[in-house]
Amino acid sequence: MEEFKQEMEAEPQISVPLEEKVSWGRIIFDVIETLALAVLLFFGINAISARVRVDGFSMLPTLEDSEFVLVSKINYQLASVERGDIIVFHFPMDPEQELIKRVIGLPGDVVNVQNGIVSVNGLALEEPYIAAAPAYSGEWDVPDGHLFVLGDNRNDSSDSHFWGYLPFEKVVGKAVIIYWPPPLWKVIEHTNILTAQ
């Protein structure tokens, strides 16, 4: 046993230095590749979607002030706008400003507001999503290429009843998801507003 111990002690310890070859060319290539992929993803995601912060109380109770909403930019390239859709658009009076409202009237529709009831083409809307019945009245014939939009908080909303029709080319897209803050995360419901008789 003593001999074995001496043999073990006698074996030379070989230390192999671990030399790593640094390939700066490969590192630079990886960094450029990662940056290019990030830029591609950024522009790709922005081409099909937008993120919008709700600013104000015009869409209460459906949307709260300071919520963040994901908007589909391609939705209306694949399908038509429908009454009841919640959309984001560039405000016609100030294109730098984006607003979010509900579509009430399509081209050719007659929108009427009387005695707190909104009707489209003579059909009264059932609107469980509004904050209160509108305290204003009027009638609007929606022209071709335009939409009539209202906020769900009817009496505290700058919308078509105040500034007129929305040109369709100003539409950014359809609001699909509330994604911030996390406790309020949900898919946005787009009510078919002409189900009432």
pLDDT tens digits, 122-141: 999 989 999 999 999 999 99
Residue that the structure tokens 């509330």 belong to: 178
What are the DSSP calls for 27-58, one per residue? HHHHHHHHHHHHHHHHHHHHHHEEEEE--SST
Is residue 190 within 8 Å of residue 84, measured between CB atoms?
yes
From the candidates 21, 49, 101, 174, give the one annotated as an active-site residue.
101
Map residue 108 onto helix, strand or coil: coil
Query: pTM of the entire structure?
Result: 0.75
Segment 65-85, tens digit of pLDDT: 989 998 988 878 878 899 999
Quote the tokens at residue 42. Answer: 């950024």
Q: Has 137 been annotated as catalytic?
A: no
For range 52-73, the mean pLDDT: 90
From the candidates 5, 23, 49, 58, give the one annotated as an active-site residue.
58
Is residue 152 within 8 Å of residue 139, measured between CB atoms?
no
183 pLDDT above the threshold of 90: no
How far apart are the C-alpha atoms of 130 and 140, rounded to whole Å? 20
End-to-end CA separation in angstroms for the chain: 102
21/7: higher pLDDT: 21
How far apart are the C-alpha atoms of 131 and 152, rounded to whole Å? 6
Specify the CATH superfamily of domain 49-187: Umud Fragment, subunit A (2.10.109.10)
How far apart are the C-alpha atoms of 31 and 23, rounded to whole Å? 13
62: CB partners within 8 A, 6+ apart: 86, 102, 129, 152, 188
104: CB partners within 8 A, 6+ apart: 83, 111, 118, 120, 125, 148, 149, 150, 160, 193
64: CB partners within 8 A, 6+ apart: 54, 184
109: CB partners within 8 A, 6+ apart: 83, 120, 121, 141, 142, 148
Q: Has 186 been annotated as catalytic?
A: no
Q: What are phi and psi of 153, to 5 degrees?
A: -90, 75
40/103: higher pLDDT: 103
Length of the chain: 197
Residues above pLDDT 90, as percent of the chain: 52
User: At 180, which amino acid appears?
Assistant: W
Q: List the domain boundaries for the chain.
A: 49-187
14/152: higher pLDDT: 152
